Amino acid sequence: MKSPVVEVCNVQKVYGKKGGNQFKALNDVSFSMQEGEFVGIMGPSGSGKTTLLNVISTLDQVTSGEIKIDNVDITDMGQDELSDFRSQKLGFIFQDFNLLENMTIAENIALPLYLQGTPAKNVDAKVMTVAKRLGIEELLQKYPAEISGGQKQRSAAARALVHEPTVILGDEPTGALDSKNATSLLETMKDLNDRQNVSIMMVTHDAYSASYCQRIIFIQDGKLHKEIHRSSTRELFYKEILDVLAQLGTKNA
């Protein structure tokens, strides 16, 4: 029996002051994610998918409800605890890579380890292992400005993985990549998920990227709209996703 790594319970997120012009970005959202799952979150612009990712990644706080990651409730933690939690349990991949341009790739990847106080002698080995896994061991001594977008995103993925987090959160990780690089990154993520049992949650609006997931949660207007599981090939799943998106579109219209 797999245990849930992320549990979202009746989460609400309201922007704006009480009595003023309020906007419910998330309205009573609940779902859970098991260890080793590859979950996609989809929805049209303004549906609340980024807000959902932000509250799960502890960058934003919920108005009400509960979020547990690795059985720890993150909704009543202080800022410092949250920082530590992020640095230990979560790995991030952002759309615009967010590598530090003033550090080499190796230093970028090693950063989460340094933050946890890993002894310097262990760091190099760990960086090398994860770099090999992502096929970027040749780039370690380069600076972000010297490598391509696809390579940058792989480096960012390596940084997200190096400290073996409970879950990796991706915010449109393929958004800034061309199709070839995007496919390559998605294959890698899938591979990590299949073989290393890494739990991944990814926000995307691109059906092709989403088709690599095992399960997709659709949200619209801050509410869970639908959930679909992949049962057969990726191609069929892709069509299924497009159907749901079409549905969402017509409902909107």
**Which residue of 37, 70, 107, 172 would you call a contact of another protein, by CB under 8 A?**
107
| # of chain residues touching another protein (CB under 8 A) | 33
- Least distance from C-beta 36 to another protein, angstroms? 23
CB 168 within 8 A of CB 33: no
90 binds another protein (CB under 8 A): yes
Site string for another protein, 48-77 (x = CB under 8 A): ---------x-x------------------
**Which residue of 24, 44, 50, 85 would you call a contact of another protein, by CB under 8 A?**
85
Pairwise CA distance, residues 149 & 136, whole Å: 13
Residues in 136-155 that interact with another protein by CB under 8 A: 143-146
Contacts (Cβ under 8 Å, ≥6 apart) of 51 = 13, 25, 26, 60, 222
Pairwise CA distance, residues 3 & 118, whole Å: 28
101 binds another protein (CB under 8 A): yes
| Own/partner long-range contacts of 2-5 (Cβ < 8 Å, ≥24 apart) | 2/34, 2/35, 2/36, 3/34, 3/35, 3/71, 4/32, 4/33, 4/34, 4/35, 4/68, 5/33, 5/34, 5/35, 5/37, 5/69, 5/70, 5/166, 5/167, 5/199
> For residue 251, what are its two tokens?
């409902």
**Phi and psi angles of residue 57, each rounded to the nearest 5 degrees, phi first:** -80, 10
CB atoms within 10 A of CB 184: 16
- Least distance from C-beta 97 to another protein, angstroms? 9
Segment lying near another protein (by CB under 8 A), choices 45-53, 117-125, 132-140, 204-212: 117-125
Segment lying near another protein (by CB under 8 A), choices 31-39, 104-112, 183-191, 194-202: 104-112
Segment lying near another protein (by CB under 8 A), choices 99-107, 172-180, 189-197, 213-221: 99-107
**Phi and psi angles of residue 90, each rounded to the nearest 5 degrees, phi first:** -115, 145
Residues in 21-40 that interact with another protein by CB under 8 A: none
184 binds another protein (CB under 8 A): no
Pairwise CA distance, residues 237 & 212, whole Å: 9
**Which residue of 110, 134, 198, 224 would you call a contact of another protein, by CB under 8 A?**
110
Positions touching another protein (CB under 8 A) are: 57, 59, 79-80, 83-88, 90, 92, 94, 98-103, 107, 110-112, 114-115, 117, 120, 123, 143-146, 159
